[in-house]
Structure 1
């Protein structure tokens, strides 16, 4: 009976080493050859007797072969490590571990309430209390991790603020994978406090208007008084009731100090005085020197001449090393010194090429040395039908991946499936597309096939997907499977990840492994694009994958941009104009940039595989494409007005695109200076470093410099309290500890508890906590049951039966 049950279980079994099954098949084939190949010939015997003997021997060999095949098959199946997963409901540990955060930021809450709650819980259920953070150290994630055990119940009393160590959200998700429940107590501040921070540029150019943002963090303070000083002058002194506001300043060359101070203006008390003052330093440098080369007057100079120190020329000089960036406006290839520009850009300088009737496809750039320097290839290439383009869709079907639409699970599944299927529309016919799904592990949905002949089949495969109930998300497994799916195909390799990014925590190093894989493949010219299904996704992680993977991050409403990138270019619509669209809004140039420009002319170019296409026409033609070349940066404007300029990109609403592109190309305006001191503002709890470029060894009080490169030195800044300081005549600021930065519950903390399967309780819901722990103590435990030994026993049994039968035959029928 046991053997019969084991055989039946084999149909649902999994194998630890499945490759041994294939070795077993090979062994059976070898056994077949050894059994039936005659190696002995009989000479001089009666032919009838020989035929009769061979007939008897054949029957005998068939029996032996069947027996040995079963034995070999059973042994190799046993060696492959067969196992089944058995789920059982077990009585868990009826105990509650209470993890308490005693860090400084918790002081604004009413501690007496949860103290009473712990006492009452202790009368109902066995409890243990542990302190996971104290003082200014809020490494709460590490504190929770040190107490995590499988099949346990945890109750967190914390504001969720982490200022060091592993993110708490990751630890909460990891706890659910251990079959433990982590719940939390909702806390309410009973003390009033207000703090302030300043956000804005730390380095800018003279005569440029700079925007600074004042943010007030507060609890139970409705109105506050704000003062802001610029250098030694008071520029803002008023009452405010908004959480933030901005102000603008145009500053002169040099270093400037900004100081802000807040106090309650409604009679409230101020619990923490440490966060009332915030300092910021800003360095204003001379306008970068730009060389603008154009055959005729260029309208673009209306923007450049106001913001930069521009030298105009009609042809290239013999030396351009004194300039931070060179701009070529519609210059033919025969008039460009490509060798000089390659050396110039490689050394760390910038180049911007603006198209027109005498450049790119009209300027004989194709197959020249200068084309190698550009982020675009001349012509539309051979990809009008998608030849050489490979795309893998990677879909998150985990439990956390379904939390991106309002409504039930069916609506959530439909939402992601519709998103994935919608991406298939508009792709070039010969584009090869495959699909992978993942939760805790990856599954192949569809191998790589041309989309023109398999779109309906792939859409059906996606529609039939069953979403998992596993709480975690193993992004690494999905991307690794995508790599295996597309690796052997020639051409561009593009991986599109649709996920909430709620990966396993860093403990298992999966995030680190994921980013390492992305960087490794990006170096091999793979491109990674990430799509966030909801605002609740871990967008920072998804943006990091896209950034490291040389691709873009998209929200669902912007996935149309992917179709522009991978779809075939279309002709301009009637009237000859098309909208310019930002494709990547995470790049320095296009971040938070909105364009409202209609363009009616373009050069025939194709972005290179390592470039970044930032702006394109809605019909698919590139507008702005950039890349890094050596230590420098190159940008190409390849669409504009039929009049020979950048058209509506020069209007006031869109004019930020040009200076942002130039600023990106310039990079650090001080890099060509013989001497500079660079030091960033910091916090009391952060390590700080000063970097000095000098032709002699620098010296400063209480600092030890070390040489890190030619004429480049660095030193650690000793710890100091909050304030404004000076090193080597350069001011810098140290601000209050980050522990005072967040007041109240950390945004997203309570949501992560619920998403991982925990619950939120009020301090007075003691009975609810007890009932919840009691119900959760009954757990479903999955056990891995090995079923090797019945197979081995069965193989031995068959072998012994074979021996007995052979002995009987040899004894009685010889």
Structure 2
């Protein structure tokens, strides 16, 4: 395709055409004028600087390397000469520069972004623990986009170190069970023993010995605070194998507030659910929706639509959208039994009050061709576009599925980090972003088998419908036999294969008879073949899922409860077990998050956000019911935590919205604390640090003030009575090698080595990776100039030959006249 650097020069065509038309009308020779117009037009096009984009591969035997040597405090555990020795071996053979990072913070991301120029490659000698500045993953993506390959070299661990920290909420409710986690990390991976002591406000409440084999362990702890205000949790560790004591003590401050006020609208005040709510919250119980002022959440327990007026429902909508919570509990008078379907109340809820169509049980892997040929033949964008189209167009079919994305060139690459649950909108968006950011590989081999091998590993233990969708330009001739072997193994294991063939000019997509290798492959293994042209999108239809058995033979006393999304705030710390004997039949809305299901796939707990607030739908009863008792087991033992965690999620911030409310998380030494002050009463805010230093506040919103404060030394400090802890520098928290480093490096085109591997292989790989597909602008100006010159000369020659011929004819006539 011809492009123009200066298309505005084409406006010169206007006077050329106008002048030509004028001269022709004045009687000038038409042929001569048209010839001159064409010559001038060609010269005008030349002035517009026409060019074509040409792709070519460039390589270098001496690639430019930047060695980033991490010499920050966390690297004291590792061999110190790794970077020096590696620099010596690299610099002797290729241009190599060294950048040293020092101090008590590690900004690996900033260093990568700073030195990724596109014409060089970066070598990280680091533990991969970046704790300041640019996110490491995003920095690696940036380097990949600019064309800079980043490698990592792991130095040898010399000594072990153990760190401890506490993770948990800052605001705690009075007399409620507060759960937090103590996380212990070690740099090595050998078994160790250690003792942990935990203090609350200087009183020892726990002392226990633990054994640990892995590099990290999470220890859940619960404690109930019985007095309001500021409290401090202190944890310390004494380990058998530990380098430095600086990260062995951690302070966690909490601020205990009164029980939040909630309203329960119910006729059943003696239910197991009501007992839980009365015990944990300041609960008002009534049969009608009353004054909602100062209430953090409302519970509608088994209320029919007739029990709420349109004005009350509108009041609820305003209440929730302004930032409060709503919990709608099922029963024999609500949802499908309470005429919720198509009502204004249903508009608030994350479910429709109609029977759900079971969509679960599908596992789908997208295997995307990103080999160099997809860029050379212009199909890369269409392959990614078709992948996103499959995710979005078939979103209803995939809403309850698990989907993973694999890219392949010479090697297979895990793009999505395994299978991802599609019931969460943020997961769908993340997959789209990951697919959109995949760059073409710089190697030429199209190894479909390598992508299929990873898909085979992911689906090995899968249940239900198993699908693999290959999207490729079809140039699989080179690795056809290997691909056929893995594809056959997949189909033998019950996996269904789809092949979306984006057609291109690549000769390797067809055999000698003109048959597409992709179609031949699908015919051999019994898969489905979908050929599409460039810029077209595939119309891929999944098989109907086999519906679970819902006939009358089901034993409804054994409807087991299942955590469908175990990572949500509500479910992550709840060990759910038990059955229900009945439920309301509902269908989750798009964008809702299913947390609890029955063993037959029926939604039990579904949540979503509504405006600034949150709504939860429980499609079973309060544990007592009237003639039916559907869910008594949900409110006994550990299962009762599901009610409290749901209410805590709905309440959000339990702070009372009155007076002046200060919010600030604990921080690390050297990291400023972020403060937020909300004024609910009139007045000029004033706060002090440790009763000695006034803090300047900046107005950032209506009645909202913020400040950034360097709190001071390690320990517990107070800002006008509000506690904030300063712990050891963040540099000492993450010890050992970042477990995600190798995956992040590989995902962005690099490799990870030991020191000896780097000395033997890194330069070779750097030379191979210096081969880059470069697109250059090649000027076509000369061709238009030559065409104009040739046309002009032809016109002059033709005109001159005509003149010579006319002269000869005239001379002949004169001679004939003289002879006569």
TM-score (norm: length of structure 2): 0.64
2:553 matched residue in structure 1: 575
| 1:83-482 aligned within 5 A | 83-88=53-58, 90-93=59-62, 96-112=65-81, 114-119=83-88, 122=91, 124-125=92-93, 128-172=96-140, 174-175=142-143, 180-219=148-187, 222-242=192-212, 244=217, 245-254=219-228, 255-264=230-239, 266=240, 271-296=243-268, 298-317=271-290, 319-336=291-308, 337-379=312-354, 397-398=369-370, 442-444=384-386, 467-468=408-409
Change (3 A) 1:768 1:168: same
2:449 matched residue in structure 1: none
Deviation at 1:533, TM superposition (A): 11
Change (3 A) 1:470 1:624: same
Change (3 A) 1:534 1:676: farther
Q: For residues 391 and 103 of structure 2, what CA distance do their matches in structure 1 show? A: 58
Deviation string for 1:410-459 (max 9, x for gaps)? xxxxxxxxxxxxxxxxxxxxxxxxxx99679844479799999xx9xxxx
Segment of structure 1 superposing worse, 199-208 or 277-286: 199-208
Q: For residues 447 and 716 of structure 1, what CA distance do their matches in structure 2 show? A: 44
Deviation at 1:665, TM superposition (A): 1.6
Give yes or no for contact 2:669–2:714 (8 Å, CA) kept in 1. Answer: yes
Corresponding position: 1:730 with 2:708: no
Q: For residues 80 and 195 of structure 1, what CA distance do their matches in structure 2 show? A: 63
Give yes or no for contact 1:257–1:281 (8 Å, CA) kept in 2. Answer: yes
Corresponding position: 1:661 with 2:652: no
Change (3 A) 1:81 1:707: same
Give yes or no for contact 1:86–1:782 (8 Å, CA) kept in 2. Answer: yes
Deviation at 1:682, TM superposition (A): 1.0
Give yes or no for contact 2:237–2:249 (8 Å, CA) kept in 1. Answer: yes
Deviation at 1:105, TM superposition (A): 1.5
Change (3 A) 1:445 1:313: closer
Change (3 A) 1:573 1:397: farther
Q: For residues 384 and 333 of structure 2, what CA distance do their matches in structure 1 show? A: 51
Q: For residues 4 and 590 of structure 2, what CA distance do their matches in structure 1 show? A: 39
Segment of structure 1 superposing worse, 695-704 or 216-225: 216-225
Change (3 A) 1:504 1:734: farther
Corresponding position: 1:699 with 2:687: yes
Deviation at 1:667, TM superposition (A): 1.7
| 1:539-558 aligned within 5 A | none
Give yes or no for contact 2:322–2:611 (8 Å, CA) kept in 1. Answer: yes
Secondary structure of the corresponding residue to residue 161 of structure 1 = coil
1:670 matched residue in structure 2: 655
Q: For residues 134 and 625 of structure 1, what CA distance do their matches in structure 2 show? A: 49
Q: Tell me which of 760, 767, 780 is aligned to 1:768.
A: 760
Secondary structure of the corresponding residue to residue 102 of structure 2 = strand
Change (3 A) 1:778 1:807: same
Give yes or no for contact 1:157–1:184 (8 Å, CA) kept in 2. Answer: yes
Q: For residues 781 and 256 of structure 2, what CA distance do their matches in structure 1 show? A: 77
Deviation string for 1:355-409 (max 9, x for gaps)? 333233443445544344333445569x999xxxxxx998754479x9xxxxxxx
Deviation at 1:654, TM superposition (A): 4.1
Deviation at 1:709, TM superposition (A): 4.8
Deviation at 1:668, TM superposition (A): 1.4
Corresponding position: 1:624 with 2:605: yes
Give yes or no for contact 1:331–1:363 (8 Å, CA) kept in 2. Answer: yes
1:749 matched residue in structure 2: 741
> Which consecutive unaligned segments of at least 5 residues does structure 2 have?
18-24, 26-30, 398-403, 417-424, 440-453, 459-493, 497-540, 807-820
Change (3 A) 1:731 1:247: same
Secondary structure of the corresponding residue to residue 247 of structure 1 = strand
Q: For residues 570 and 223 of structure 2, what CA distance do their matches in structure 1 show? A: 21
Q: For residues 493 and 197 of structure 1, what CA distance do their matches in structure 2 show? A: 29
Deviation string for 1:747-793 (max 9, x for gaps)? 22244445545444444568625863785487455352526347636
Q: For residues 155 and 232 of structure 2, what CA distance do their matches in structure 1 show? A: 38
Give yes or no for contact 1:96–1:125 (8 Å, CA) kept in 2. Answer: no
Q: For residues 801 and 564 of structure 2, what CA distance do their matches in structure 1 show? A: 81
Q: For residues 110 and 466 of structure 1, what CA distance do their matches in structure 2 show? A: 35
Secondary structure of the corresponding residue to residue 111 of structure 1 = coil
Deviation string for 1:725-744 (max 9, x for gaps)? 11212222111111111222
Q: For residues 99 and 387 of structure 2, what CA distance do their matches in structure 1 show? A: 47
Secondary structure of the corresponding residue to residue 115 of structure 2 = coil
Q: For residues 758 and 732 of structure 1, what CA distance do their matches in structure 2 show? A: 41
Q: For residues 774 and 714 of structure 1, what CA distance do their matches in structure 2 show? A: 48
Q: For residues 690 and 259 of structure 1, what CA distance do their matches in structure 2 show? A: 22
Deviation at 1:684, TM superposition (A): 1.5
Change (3 A) 1:440 1:233: farther
Corresponding position: 1:680 with 2:665: yes
Number of aligned residues: 643
> Which consecutive unaligned segments of at least 5 residues does structure 1 have?
1-13, 32-39, 41-59, 386-391, 403-435, 456-461, 476-491, 507-530, 536-556
Deviation string for 1:538-574 (max 9, x for gaps)? xxxxxxxxxxxxxxxxxxx9x9xxx99x989978344
2:482 matched residue in structure 1: none
Deviation at 1:306, TM superposition (A): 3.1
Q: For residues 493 and 262 of structure 1, what CA distance do their matches in structure 2 show? A: 38
Change (3 A) 1:679 1:710: same
1:37 matched residue in structure 2: none
Corresponding position: 1:82 with 2:82: no
Deviation at 1:321, TM superposition (A): 2.3
Deviation at 1:353, TM superposition (A): 1.6
Secondary structure of the corresponding residue to residue 135 of structure 1 = coil
Secondary structure of the corresponding residue to residue 323 of structure 2 = coil
Secondary structure of the corresponding residue to residue 160 of structure 1 = coil
